[in-house]
Copies of this chain bind each other. A is one copy, B any other.
Amino acid sequence: MKDKRNTLQKRIVSDVFSSMHNHPSAGMVYDAVQEKFPGISRATVYRILAEAAEEGTVQRLKLTDANDRFDITTKKHYHVVCRDCGAVADVETEIDGIGLTERTVGCEGFTVEGCHVEFVGVCEKYQNKTEKII
Contacts and interface: CB of A to CB of B under 8 A. Distances in A.
Given A105-B92, A106-B91, A120 B124 contact: no
A80 to B, nearest CB: 5
Interface of A: 62-65, 80, 82-83, 89-95, 100-101, 103-124, 127
Contact of A119 (B94, B115, B124): B115
A62 B62 contact: no
A108 B120 contact: no
How many copies, total?
2
A6 to B, nearest CB: 29
A50 B90 CA distance: 32
B112 A120 contact: yes
Contact of A80 (B63, B90, B112): B112
28 contacts: A62-B64, A63-B64, A64-B64, A80-B104, A89-B108, A89-B109, A90-B107, A91-B106, A93-B103, A93-B106, A95-B100, A95-B103, A101-B119, A107-B119, A109-B124, A109-B127, A110-B121, A110-B124, A111-B121, A112-B119, A113-B120, A114-B119, A114-B120, A115-B117, A115-B119, A116-B118, A116-B119, A117-B117
A116 B120 contact: yes
